[in-house]
Each structure stands twice: as C-alpha cells, then as structure tokens.
Structure 1
Amino acid sequence: MDNPKLKPATLAAQAMGALDHQSGGVVPPIQPATTFARDRDYQPLNPDNVYLRDQNEGTRLAEKLIARLEGAEASLLFPSGMAAIAAAFRTIPNGGRAIVQSGIYWGTTKWVREFCERRQITLDEFDARTPETLAQACVTPAQLVLIETPSNPWLLTVDIASAAEQAHGAGAKLLVDATAATPILCRPVEHGADLVMHSVTKAMNGHSDVLGGVLSTARDDDLWQEIATDRQGAGAVMSPFDAWLLVRGMRTLPLRVERMCENAQKIAEALLSHDRVEDVYYPGLSGFTGHDIASRQMAGGYGFLMSVLVKGGASEALAVAGRLNLFHRATSLGGVESLVEHRHTIEPHTGIPENLLRLSIGIEDADDLIADLDQALRS
C-alpha cells in the first residue's frame, strides 16, 4: 500500500495489504522458522532471509505498518519496551550526558539511572511541570533527551516541538515515549522528535497478550544504523508469533483508541464532579495542566490513561479498588479491558500520592464503567 493518502484506519485494517499469497488467505501468515534454506550453489532461496533475528516476514510487516502509522522513516521491534529504551541509550558513549524527564514510568527511570552510573554517563533529570528546567539542562551539550508524553502516572503533557528545539540546541537527539498516546493520537516525528518509542505491550497490541517495544526514527542515519546493528548482533528481537499477534491487534488500533478515548473523556468528567474524588489527572480536562499543549499535539482524543485521587488515604483508595467489579486489579494499560492500579503499592518511594488510583480505560460501555466506579466510591 504505497498510496500516501490512505488514512491510518485503512492502513491498519488492511495490514498494509498483506495476504498469504501461497494459500490466498486474507490473514498474513506466521513463519516460525529460525533458519532458512540455501540452494545447491549455497545461495539463499530467499536473499532476505538467512537466519532468524531480524529476518522474519511478520516482523518486517509489523515494522512497516508502525512506520507508516508513525509517519517515520523506519521502525524496529524489540522484545519489550524497556529493550527499546535500552537500545537508544546504548548509543550514548561512556562519559556522555543524558537528560531525562522525571516522574515518568518508574521502570524507565530505575534502569536509566543504573545504566548511566555503570557507564559514567552524566544524568540530569528535569521536572516537566516547570518547562524552563529543560531549557536550563540543555545549556550543556548532551547526546540524548528523553521525554514521556502523556506521562505515566502523572499524565503530564510535554511540548514536543519545544523539547526538540532545546534538545537539538544541546546537540542531542530527542527520544519521545508516546506509549500513552499511540501514533493514532500523536506522531512526535511531525513535531521534531528524532526517535519515538512505544511499549507495544500496551495499546498498540491492545489485548494484553504480547510483550514488546518499538523504536521509530525520523531519519535512517548513522545513529539509526548503529541501533539496528546492535539489535541484530545482541539478538534483541521479537518472536515471530508475537509479531503476528501484534499485527492482528493493530488492525483494530484506530477503532479501539477512538472508543477508549471517548470512554476516558466521559469517565474523567464524571469523576471530577464526584464528591468522593479529590482530583483527576487527565489531559482532556480543560482545567488540567497541559490541556492546551495536548490539544495542539494530540488529534482525536486525549488518551485512555488517567489517575484519580480518592478522598482519604491509602486505605480508602485500596478499598475503592477492591470494590470495583468491572476493572481488573492489574498492572498494565492500553488493553481492551479496563484496569485499576494502586500505584503507591507498586512504587512507594517515588512520591506517588497514597490515594492515587491509575485507571486504564478499555472499550466497555462507558456508563457501565461509571456506574461501577460510583458504587465503589460510595460503598
């Protein structure tokens, strides 16, 4: 599907036009082979395939689809979101410098801190609530700037275009974790980002049955080739079956994201006016910090993730989570099913309010979810 005018919904539903040409099936096939045959002259039967790592048709299809949805030059799949983050950070030389947004996904923060310490990389963390702190950090040269927008679980929105300008002024590449937006809502490359990362475990797959990550690039340059070479050599690749499941999930991505955003907006507005709720963190609320930025760089909705501050302390928040019937109590986000998590239980050392519940809104009926939340809050 080379037509540049095709919309994301068409590209995704048609899986880039992929078919099983051998059987005529309308579903792209799975090829699980780990090695590929050669002819009697010892030439590969298929010059694109010699040995499974990054040589798999299903993986390449998923990467091409993501790149088209992202508006990127190319994409590379990894076995997890953290593997994708790690691949970008391994391009920083020993003794280099990284600038990272604080208050993002704790798994990223923890790994980056430990990695930078091992490699003698100077790490500066900035608070996205005060944008001038990024400008101050970018006065000194660096190799990589990482932002997460909307952030997890604070739902902070960072101006990607401004961050790109500041990062480039420091001689750094801008890496954007856009997991909570998906390329359906935001395409960071169009705002100046150099690299975009998604945990495809979340909404990209959307069915809570695939572990994976992806990096996409604005340019197929030397840095990108360094990442690709390192991935191939280190074997940090996704399995053929997971790639097949990912393509299957992405075929409904635009439809799922549309429904999830509609649900989330209704739920956020209902909770904000609830007498048992202290506050709601959601970019779609007009009074929420970052709403204006989100309105400029997100199209079609404000995402499916929100955090709710329950009146009372940890015990009341945990009690509310325990009384929910439709929300699964589980750690993840972006699936078709709605999830609730008491984040302080998971990361009590990061300053997360003890009364915060993180909600990932699925594709269920919004009124059913609102009723479930109301009974849990009032019981």
Structure 2
Amino acid sequence: MTTKKHGFATRAIHDGQKPDELTGAVNVPIYLTSTYQQEEIGKNKGHEYARLTNPTRDALEESLCSLEGGTSAHVFGSGMAAITALCTMMKTGDHVVCSDNVYGGTGRLFDKVMTNYGLTFTYVDTSVAENVAAAIRPETKLVHIETPTNPMMAITDIAAVAAICHARGVELSVDNTFLSPYFQQPIALGADIVMHSTTKFLNGHSDGLGGVLVCTKPEHAERFRFVQKCTGGILSPFESYLLLRGVKTLAVRMKQHDANGRVVADFLKGHKAVERVFYPGLAEHPQHELAGRQQTGYGSMLSMELGSLERANTFAKSLKLCLLAESLGGVETLICHPATMTHAAVGAEGRARLGITDGLMRVSAGIEDVEDIVADLEQALDRLGS
C-alpha cells in the first residue's frame, strides 16, 4: 500500500518504479525468469515461481494500487481475464446486478460462460440508482457498473450506488477503463473494487493487453492472489514493463486526450452530417452535471450517430488519419463501429434496446494535433452530405 503524500503525476512516475538497487537503472528491469534460486530449503529471496510473483509485475501492481487509492492491485493477461477473476468471488447460486450497457465482452462472459456455473445476472440502467436498489436480491453479492458506459456514454452516480450496495451488504465494482484514475476515483466515492482493461488508457500506446483489479479489503487481496496462482492468467513481465512505461505519462496524456475530446465533440455537434453526439462534456448531455461532480475531466471517449450502416461505412472508408479499429485509449485516434465490433455479441435485439444503432460510431480521440483530427473527421463527414 502506498500513500497519497505526493500528487498524481508524481506517483505515476515514482510509486512502484524505484531505481534498480543492483545497477541504479531508473527503469524497472524486465525480469524474464520462470523460477528463482532458493538459498536453502524453505528459504528464498521473496520469490519462488513466476506464476506467483515477478518483480516487474510486483512493481506494476504497486503503481496501479497507488493511482487508484486501493490497498492491493492484481494484474491479469487481459481485461476479460480480470473480469473473470472478479467472478471467482461468487459461488453457485449467487446473483450479480450489472449495468445494462457495458462492454459487449463483459455481458458475453456473464451470459455465455458464468451462467453455466450457476451464477445469475440482472442488467439494469444503473444511471438511475433506484434501479439498482430494486434489482438487489437476498442472494446478490456484487453490483458491477461501467461509467461512462460503452458506447452510449451514460453516467452512473458511483457514491449513490455505493451507498445502496453497502446498506444491503453488497459489494460494488466499477469498470474505470474509459476515464482512468486520473479523471475518476471510484474507491474514494465508495467502490470496493475497481477494474480496468489496462490495454486502453493506462498502457496508452496500443501495444499490450492487460487487466487489473484494484481492491480495498484484505480478503480481496487473498482471493485474487490465489486466483493468479491457481489459474495462471497473469500479465507477462514484458507487458508489465510496457504498462509501467505507459503509466509514467498517464497524467500528461489524459490532459491532452481531454482537451482534444472536448474540441472534437464540439466540432461533431455542429456538423450537418451528424445527427447526435454522446459526450458527457456537452452541456446537453443528460448527466453533464453529475459527470462534472464525480469526474475531474470528461475524457476523450464519445459516440456519434450517422443515421445508417451505409453512411457509417462511407465515413469509415473515407478516414485518412484516424484509424478504423477496435480498442481505445491509445495516443492515436481510433474509431470503431460498435454494432459490428465491440457489441456484435449483444445481438440486434439487445443493441436496439440499448440504442446502439448501425449508424453509431465510437471515437477515441488521440493526442495528435487536434486540428489534424478535426480536419480528417470533417473531410470524411463531408462525403455524407447533410
């Protein structure tokens, strides 16, 4: 556990990332070893086998724990591996309440895999806190929310939902991937566990998969360390190193992501080819005020409605600088089509219920010169007419 005596950017650079004691190297070394020499039977230097611990991974977990303000952090080979580890808190017969508009892979895991082991799930619009209260049952063990949601950018009041959960003896987990700990601190708002796909903003360079659970209780730490040991879904030393490198620049990157996101949202709102923009930083967003209270920025994630699959595809094929690709949070601007990419598994009926149309495009504004991002979006949108 680390302290908060320093500011966020300072902790991002230094917590968990001490110079190497042997050589003085300012970067944490990549410890490429599967096992460790033991001094004698029953005595080692803190490490036995790489599935259990690795010095590079240990440094990363200390860093991420500090940034989210938790008591322990546990990294996994992907965001989905982290969500899977989260599910190991439950047993047959337990119930989970989940945001109805989450990453498609989360719902796919819950409905297609975890239900086979006797877990049950209820999906509600968690942006209305009363929906959460109404969905909790005696067998409910966890409420899992994503805020802002992917890709509709709905906001959930974390503090209000946390109060409901704790009054009913239920734990709250929050997927904080879209904002990163720089713009949102769920634990400070009452969350018990924070989850990230570290592939996104924490890494920031689109070059490594990963996931993390940041926890607040000793029993969480014991459980997830055990899961890492038993299932082996751990993050590799090299990807741990990439993530440590990415985290060092998180503060400066997020500032630029946020600045660019606001400019892009304003531009798209005014373009005749765009029917609607979903971005909490716009005054017309229904939860703009809530976002301003529980976040310290609006970030770079937004979605826009173009009206049809044909128009969306014409736009996508016309891009020259921005990249049509899944994922988000990289330094480059990434644009995806949720209906055929991130939320294909939800199905047409499920997408219709959530408002994910064939004309919806999600934008992850990068940190390029914003004038260049806007110019590329403009030339692609102009091909659509009005």
**TM exceeds 0.5?**
yes
State the distance in 2 between where 1:259 and 1:86 align: 32
Amino acid at match of 1:325: K
Give the one of 306, 319, 325 matched to 1:324. Answer: 319
State the distance in 2 between where 1:14 and 1:90 align: 32
Aligned pairs for 1:186-225 within 5 A: 186-220=184-218, 222-225=219-222
Contact 1:141–1:170, Cα closer than 8 Å, also in 2:
no
Give the one of 355, 360, 372 matched to 1:356. Answer: 360
State the distance in 2 between where 1:124 and 1:45 align: 47
1:114, CA displacement in angstroms?
2.2
Change in 2 beyond 3 A, CA 1:54/1:261: farther
1:304 maps to which residue? 300
1:42 maps to which residue? 41
2:333 maps to which residue? 338
Percent identical pairs in the alignment equals 36
Structure 1: any 5+ residue segments left out of the alignment?
Answer: none
Contact 1:70–1:189, Cα closer than 8 Å, also in 2:
yes
Amino acid at match of 1:303: G
Deviations 1:72-121 (A, max 9, x none): 11100011111111111121110111111111100001111123421222
2:230 maps to which residue? 233
1:58, CA displacement in angstroms?
0.8
Contact 1:70–1:216, Cα closer than 8 Å, also in 2:
yes
Contact 1:12–1:65, Cα closer than 8 Å, also in 2:
yes
TM-score, with length taken from structure 2: 0.93
State the distance in 2 between where 1:167 and 1:101 align: 14
Contact 1:81–1:214, Cα closer than 8 Å, also in 2:
yes
Aligned pairs for 1:58-77 within 5 A: 58-77=56-75
State the distance in 2 between where 1:16 and 1:91 align: 27
1:181, CA displacement in angstroms?
0.9
Deviations 1:273-299 (A, max 9, x none): 111110111111111022111111111
Judge which range, 23-32 or 55-64, deviates more. Answer: 23-32
Change in 2 beyond 3 A, CA 1:142/1:275: same
Say whether 1:185 aligns with 2:183. Answer: yes
Aligned pairs for 1:254-273 within 5 A: 254-273=251-270
Contact 2:209–2:239, Cα closer than 8 Å, also in 1:
yes
1:133, CA displacement in angstroms?
1.5
1:226, CA displacement in angstroms?
1.8
Contact 2:199–2:209, Cα closer than 8 Å, also in 1:
yes
1:287 maps to which residue? 284
State the distance in 2 between where 1:253 and 1:294 align: 20
State the distance in 2 between where 1:377 and 1:189 align: 40
Structure 2: any 5+ residue segments left out of the alignment?
Answer: none
1:246 maps to which residue? 243
TM-score, with length taken from structure 1: 0.95
State the distance in 1 between where 2:113 and 2:225 align: 20
Judge which range, 168-177 or 364-373, deviates more. Answer: 168-177
Aligned pairs for 1:115-126 within 5 A: 115-126=113-124
CA RMSD of aligned residues (A): 1.6
Contact 2:2–2:66, Cα closer than 8 Å, also in 1:
no
Contact 1:195–1:216, Cα closer than 8 Å, also in 2:
yes
1:140, CA displacement in angstroms?
4.2
State the distance in 2 between where 1:258 and 1:302 align: 10
